[in-house]
């Protein structure tokens, strides 16, 4: 059998994993971010001088954030729960050490310290866990698109064929959600001038995505690179989906109130599911063997856009809520609670939807897929925001705030502000955040190059992990070099 066909077969006809296992993975990255922050605090308390050298910060962030994520979806996937427990215990131990150190100097009970912390003010010009969410979704996507071609990557994590919940299935929906969280509408920017001109402007602004989609299409067809046709279709790819979702969502948001985004999301996904159930649309998407016309050839990519638009509109509503100005710690703790309640509520709805309609299907982007994506995204945001609150508590106890991409206590001195800015300039999370689309494009190019140079299916586990770590290191290094040189690649 042709090598390309073998690789396609390797990623085809998969059924995914459980919703619980996907949710379990949401704990790892927040714990890694917390561990990295606690390490810097303890390093400072042990008389270490910050910031470190540029290379040292890259190594620290890569080791603390990227490496565990690669290992978690490869050789450690079967014991991920123990990895998470181990990290949590280690972080709790460090937090106890910081509390004991504070108590030795200032005294006071833990309850009193906690009460004072909850009522304290904080700097809220940014929402760091939203940045972390967007970056981590991008990073996890970069890891997965190459890792899926290696046998060390569990098949249950890969994209499902028709129904199921794979880790990569969530990654696709979360990528759309991540874009929606920080769109201009979610950040409260008003439409200037004519609404028609605004929509036209958005239409023109997505040309880089269309161009990247065309380049990917041409390169795949010309090189004979393996492609899973039932994923998006013969000519379609995710870049086209992103472009259309953005334009359609902008048009909807120019007509309907932004505060009603959740209702628009519900209507779109509900009507789409109704059509799937009452017409031949579902049979056409899943069972049709004809791919002669453009619509037939790309039916998965074209019709799934409807579901992704619904996810985007839901993401706008979430972003609108998260971007509100809040100055007290207890206000953000309330946000964490609401994110958790929202995710648990949607999981109950998901259970009912899968019971009485149909299971999750990324291929169709059906109602169940939309609900699952939003529920899982809210849970991941809740985990990240919890880690941020805990890290802020550690900062408050240690009176040290030089940890990038995290909240800071209010009232910091000008000197501390300058040092924090310097730390941000050496932060890998900020590096990826600065050039997100470029990072995604670079990962796609490196994935193709790696598949040409390496026989992924015959690689043993050790070699596979080494290749994946090297691949992510190269991606991280390129994006880090651009960041420390203050270069933003944005030409549109």
- 244, 248, 236: which is closest to 291 by C-alpha? 236
pLDDT band for position 125 (50/70/90)?
confident
CA max distance for the chain: 76
What would the pLDDT profile of 451-468 be if each residue is shown by its tens digit?
989 999 899 999 999 999
Range scoring the smallest mean pLDDT among 69-83, 94-108, 310-324, 436-450: 94-108
Domain membership flag for residue 79: yes
Would residue 256 be called left, alpha or beta, if left means φ above 0 and alpha means ψ between -120 and 50 degrees?
Answer: beta
pLDDT of residue 87: 97
3-state secondary structure the chain: CCHHHHHHHHCCCCCEECHHHHHHHHHHHHHHHHHHHHHHHHHHHCCCCCCCCHHHHHHHHHHHHHHHHHHHCCCCHHHHHHHHHHHHHHHHHHHHHHHHHHHHHHCCCHHHHHHHHHCCEEECCCCHHHHHHHHHHHHHHHHHHHHCCCCCCCHHHCCCCCCCECHHHHHHHHHHHHHHHCCCCCCCCCCCCCHHHHHHHHHHHCHHHHHHHHHHHHHHHHHCCCCCHHHHCCCCCHHHHHHHHHHHHHHHHHHCCHHHHHHHHHHHHHHHHHHHHHCCHHHHHHHCCCCCCHHHHCHHHHHHHHHHHHHHHHHHHHHHHHCCCCCEHHHHHHHHHHHHHHHHHHHHHHHHHHHHCCCCCCCCCCHHHHHHHHHHHHHHHHHHHHHHHHHHHHHHHHCCCCCCCCCEECCCCHHHHHHHHHHHCCCHHHHHHHCHHHHHHHHHHHHHHHHHHCCHHHCCHHHHHHHHHHHHHHHHHHHHHHHHCCCCCCCC
Q: Is the pLDDT of residue 477 over 90?
A: yes
User: What would the two tokens of residue 429 be?
Assistant: 């999370």
- 223, 232, 194, 185: which is closest to 362 by C-alpha? 232
Q: What's the structural domain count of the chain?
A: 1
Domain membership flag for residue 492: no
pLDDT band for position 491 (50/70/90)?
low
pLDDT band for position 105 (50/70/90)?
low
Domain membership flag for residue 490: no
What average pLDDT does the segment 173-198 reach? 86
pLDDT band for position 71 (50/70/90)?
very high
Domain membership flag for residue 489: no
- What is the domain range of residue 445? 3-484
- 34, 49, 47, 42: which is closest to 98 by C-alpha? 42
Domain membership flag for residue 15: yes
pLDDT of residue 226: 72
Domain membership flag for residue 175: yes
What would the pLDDT profile of 138-172 be if each residue is shown by its tens digit?
999 999 999 999 999 999 999 999 999 999 999 99
What would the pLDDT profile of 353-412 be if each residue is shown by its tens digit?
999 999 999 999 999 999 999 999 999 999 999 999 999 999 998 888 889 989 988 877
- Quote the percentage of the chain above a pLDDT of 90: 72
- Neighbouring residues of 22: CB distance < 8 A, sequence distance ≥ 6: 165, 166, 167, 170, 376
pLDDT band for position 112 (50/70/90)?
confident
What would the pLDDT profile of 204-234 be if each residue is shown by its tens digit?
888 889 999 999 899 888 877 777 888 999 9
What average pLDDT does the segment 123-131 reach? 88
- Cis omega before residue 131 (within 30°)? no
pLDDT of residue 104: 67
Q: Is the pLDDT of residue 24 over 90?
A: yes
pLDDT of residue 90: 96
What average pLDDT does the segment 280-298 reach? 92
Domain membership flag for residue 457: yes
Q: Is the pLDDT of residue 58 over 90?
A: yes
What would the pLDDT profile of 228-276 be if each residue is shown by its tens digit?
888 999 999 999 999 999 999 999 998 999 999 999 999 999 999 999 9
pLDDT of residue 294: 93
pLDDT of residue 489: 86
Domain membership flag for residue 310: yes
- 404, 408, 380, 379: which is closest to 480 by C-alpha? 404
**Angle at CA of residue 195, ends 191 and 197, nearest 5°:** 100
Straight-line distance from the first to the last Cα atom of the chain, in angstroms, rounded to the nearest whole number:
44
- Quote the percentage of the chain above a pLDDT of 70: 98
Q: Count of CB atoms within 10 A of residue 457's CB? A: 12
**Angle at CA of residue 149, ends 148 and 150, nearest 5°:** 90
pLDDT of residue 2: 65
Range scoring the smallest mean pLDDT among 376-380, 417-421, 440-444: 417-421
């Amino acid at each position: 059998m042709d090598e390309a066909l073998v690789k396609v077969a390797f990623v085809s006809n998969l059924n995914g994993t459980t919703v619980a296992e996907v949710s379990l993975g949401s704990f790892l990255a927040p714990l890694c971010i917390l561990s990295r922050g606690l390490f810097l605090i303890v390093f400072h308390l042990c008389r270490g001088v910050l910031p470190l050298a540029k290379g040292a910060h890259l190594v620290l962030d890569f080791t603390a954030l990227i490496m565990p994520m690669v290992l978690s979806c490869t050789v450690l996937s079967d014991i991920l729960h123990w990895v998470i427990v181990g990290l949590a215990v280690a972080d709790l131990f460090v937090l106890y050490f910081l509390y004991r150190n504070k108590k030795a100097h200032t005294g006071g009970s833990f309850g009193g310290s906690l009460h004072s912390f909850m009522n304290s003010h904080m700097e809220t010009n940014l929402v760091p866990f939203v940045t972390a969410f967007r970056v981590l979704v991008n990073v996890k996507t970069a890891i997965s698109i190459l890792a899926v071609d290696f046998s060390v990557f569990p098949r249950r994590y890969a994209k499902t064929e028709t129904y199921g919940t794979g880790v990569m299935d969530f990654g696709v929906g979360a990528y759309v959600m991540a874009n929606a969280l920080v769109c201009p509408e979610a950040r409260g920017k008003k439409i200037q001038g004519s609404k028609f001109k605004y929509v036209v402007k958005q239409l023109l602004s997505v040309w880089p995505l269309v161009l990247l989609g065309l380049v990917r299409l041409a390169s795949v067809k010309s090189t004979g690179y393996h492609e899973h046709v039932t994923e998006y279709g013969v000519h379609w790819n995710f870049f086209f989906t992103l472009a259309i979702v953005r334009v359609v969502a902008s048009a909807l948001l120019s007509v309907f109130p932004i505060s009603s985004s959740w209702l628009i999301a519900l209507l779109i996904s509900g009507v789409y599911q109704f059509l799937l159930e009452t017409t031949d649309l579902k049979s056409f998407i899943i069972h049709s063997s004809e791919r002669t016309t453009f619509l037939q050839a790309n039916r998965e990519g074209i019709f799934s856009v409807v579901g992704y638009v619904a996810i985007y509109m839901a993401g706008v509503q979430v972003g609108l809520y998260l971007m509100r100005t809040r100055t007290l710690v207890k206000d953000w703790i309330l946000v964490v609670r609401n994110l958790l309640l929202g995710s648990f509520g949607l999981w109950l709805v998901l259970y009912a939807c899968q019971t009485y309609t149909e299971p999750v299907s990324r291929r169709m982007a059906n109602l169940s897929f939309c609900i699952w994506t939003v529920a899982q995204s809210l849970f991941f945001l809740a985990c990240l925001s919890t880690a941020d609150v805990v890290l802020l508590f550690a900062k408050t106890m240690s009176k040290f705030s030089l940890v990038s991409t995290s909240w800071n206590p209010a009232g910091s001195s000008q000197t501390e502000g300058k040092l924090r800015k310097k730390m941000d300039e050496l932060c890998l999370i900020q590096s990826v955040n600065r050039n997100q689309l470029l990072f995604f494009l670079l990962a796609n190019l490196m994935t193709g190059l790696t598949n040409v140079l390496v026989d992924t299916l015959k690689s043993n586990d050790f070699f596979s992990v080494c290749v994946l770590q090297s691949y992510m290191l190269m991606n991280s290094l390129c994006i880090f070099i651009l960041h420390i040189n203050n270069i933003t690649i944005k030409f549109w």
